[in-house]
Amino acid sequence: MSLITHGNIVIGQSGGATAVINASLVGAVEAALTSERVEGIFGMRYGIEGFLREDLIDLRRQPAHIWPQLLHTPSAALGSCRYKLKEGDLERAVEILRRYNIRYMAYIGGNDSADTAHRLLEAARQANYEINIISVPKTIDNDLPYTDHCPGYGSAARFIAWATVDSTMNTISIPSHYPVKVIETMGRDAGWLAASSALGKYTEADPPHIILLPEQPFNVERFLTRVEEVYRQLGYVVVVAAEAIRDEQGQALGAAGQAGLDAFHHPLLSGAAQYLVELVKTQLGIRARFDKPGDLQRMASNSISPVDRDEAYLVGEMAVQALLNGESDKMVTLIRHSDPVYHSTTGLVELAKVANVQRFLPDEYLDESKTMVTQAFKDYAQPLIGGPVPQYTMLEHIKVRKMR
């Protein structure tokens, strides 16, 4: 722990933007504004990649009305990046830190961003430059370890839960047209987001009927058998599939649509839903189509969960407080409390335990089929989305008597 008496702070946003990532920025800036030990408050334009170009903006001199408005604004106001530091970058980054007298850094992001923060701090230490760095959690994938959940997930989960119900209403209205609907969600290797589609499922007949997760190997025969069973029973089927589901050989179903790798060598996949639609059509002879919300699930402002937004602000605020208290090389965590009602507090965990590590959906959140969630998952996720998903009214099928 190193208590730095004064200096400038730099704040950055990294990775996929979310609906509430700006709330973390606001929390961090407002905490910095209240401290006499913080001098300049700088913002990285486009994360660490922009920092290496010295693309910095002055956050202290922003108009005061911006911060309460930004609290409700989706996407990354500073701009984001997916950039993996190279060895030469580290030396330059430390030189920039030194030149601008940056003694505190809050970096908002996920697993890869934690790795960036950790590597930068190690480089600063080797160069005998004193700085405190804290990682602020953010990811709709909800796959960061040592935190109960991640800011950004609650709003994305809310979007997926509502979208599943709403999309199903269209399918129900004309089941003879496309009786099988496949909804593809994001989620690189973890099924937290796909699982959230069941938060509007109140009865067995409610959607979704099948959830396909990255953690569970996809079996063609079991899938087709279940689709046929539900179709015969209800006349329609709703499937939710994570974009990175894999077959029993570990091959991603969306590999046919792979569009290369990102900077951290994660495959950029597309095509899982299309694969499943073609499988149903060719093997079962049933018409099918897919919905692919894409970036909307990540940052739809009309689906922001108030709980998620408040917690995103909280982790940004607590990151700066931790920096000023001498903490460094750590990530802020969220700790769940449920007595008497749900609320959260924050903690800290070493970045070395978080960087490039993923937390997968545990088995106790899945039933025996591994294609549907349990009540335990619903109890976990429901408080995070800011209110229950509506149960829509359906007309009773009361037949009119035939006239004679």
Residues known to be catalytic = 141
Sheet holding 180-185, edge to edge: 210-212, 237-242, 180-185, 288-291
Kindly report the number of other CB atoms within 10 A of residue 122's CB atom: 15
Counting Cβ atoms within 10 Å, is residue 192 exposed (0-12), middle (13-18) or buried (19+)? Answer: buried
For 327, left (φ over 0), alpha (ψ -120 to 50), or beta? beta
**Phi, psi of 158, rounded to the nearest 5 degrees:** -60, -45
Distance of CA 314 to the CA centre of its chain: 17
> What does the H/E/C string look like for the chain?
CCCCCCEEEEEEECCCCCCCHHHHHHHHHHHHHCCCCEEEEEEECCHHHHHCCCCEEECCCCCCCHHHHHCCCCCCCCCCCCCCCCHHHHHHHHHHHHHCCEEEEEEEECHHHHHHHHHHHHHHHHCCCCCEEEEEECCCCCCCCCCCCCCCHHHHHHHHHHHHHHHHHHHHHCCCCCCEEEEEECCCCCCHHHHHHHHHCCCCCCCCCEEECCCCCECHHHHHHHHHHHHHHHCCEEEEEECCCEECCCCEHHHHHCCCECCCCCECCCCHHHHHHHHHHHHHCCCEEEECCCCHHHHCHHHCCHHHHHHHHHHHHHHHHHHHCCCCCEEEEEEEECCCCCEEEEEEEEHHHCCCCCCCCCHHHECCCCCCECHHHHHHHHHHHCCCCCCCCCCCCCCCCCCC
For Cα atoms 97, 100, 102, give the angle at the middle one, nearest 5 degrees. Answer: 55
